[in-house]
Amino acid sequence: MSNETMKIPQATAKRLPLYYRFLKNLHSSGKQRVSSAELSEAVKVDSATIRRDFSYFGALGKKGYGYNVNYLLTFFRKTLDQDELTKVALIGVGNLGTAFLNYNFLKNNNTKIECAFDVDPNKMGTTIRDVPVYHMDELEKVLSDDDIHVAILTVPAPVAQVITDRLVNSNIKAILNFTPARLNVPTSIRVHHIDLAVELQSLIYFLKHYPTEEIE
Ligand code: ATP
């Protein structure tokens, strides 16, 4: 990642892919400029936050004109390394893992699940949407041969840490953890945790206890 990116606050950085996806759609529909109000409506982020986020990118919207779509797109493409394909490994080809293999990540960004791993003899040796499923025994070799540094974890929680330790030793730098397990990793490894059950529960809690206007 460039030094420029390092200065962007993490909360802003997390919104980049969201902005990028929407701007790409705008661009393909031929729009040259967009206001922060339009963006806000589309991505559901308040316009003050959008203006602050965009000021980090050196994109200053003009009153009555808005933001230049091309400028923003070029910035996002560069910042999100969209010119380079990022190969990703998926561990655990269960229901969720299979759904990810069937999902075309390339549609919206330059990321591709390159290989998958499982211990189930019925799954290894197969391919799902052209992605080969290997046995876990081959993990270290395939990751190093294919020069892969990002992994998605969709295994049962009790095996998540053991697999994580192997991933760390295989030079994986980032893990998207879909298991409920909290993973211990060295500080040099970045883990993003998405617990779908918790997210759903939290959504329902907010729905019950906070009127929508109060939700940030
Ligand atoms: P399914 O119905 O296919 O079992 P699931 O998502 O309900 O899917 P889980 O028990 O969560 O099943 O397991 C997810 C996947 O992780 C399964 O395909 C399973 O074979 C695989 N798995 C289990 N243990 C390991 C392991 N140690 N290493 C790699 N993959 C594993």
pLDDT in tens, 94-137: 999 999 999 987 776 788 999 999 999 999 899 999 999 999 99
The pLDDT tens digits of the residues spanning 186-214 come to 999 999 999 999 999 999 988 888 876 65
61 pocket-lining for ligand 1 (C-beta < 6 Å): no
Mean pLDDT of the chain: 88
Higher pLDDT, 49 or 61: 49
d(CA 14, CA 90) in angstroms, rounded, equals 21
Q: Which residues contact 33 (CB under 8 A, 6 or more apart)?
A: 65, 66, 67, 68, 69
The pLDDT tens digits of the residues spanning 143-173 come to 999 999 999 999 999 999 999 999 999 999 9
| Ligand 1 pocket: which of 90, 95, 137, 143 to mutate (most atoms within 8 A of CB) | 95
Q: Which residues contact 215 (CB under 8 A, 6 or more apart)?
A: 206
d(CA 21, CA 17) in angstroms, rounded, equals 6
d(CA 175, CA 169) in angstroms, rounded, equals 13
136 pocket-lining for ligand 1 (C-beta < 6 Å): yes
d(CA 128, CA 56) in angstroms, rounded, equals 40
Whole-Å CA distances, 182 to 11, 94, 185: 21, 20, 10
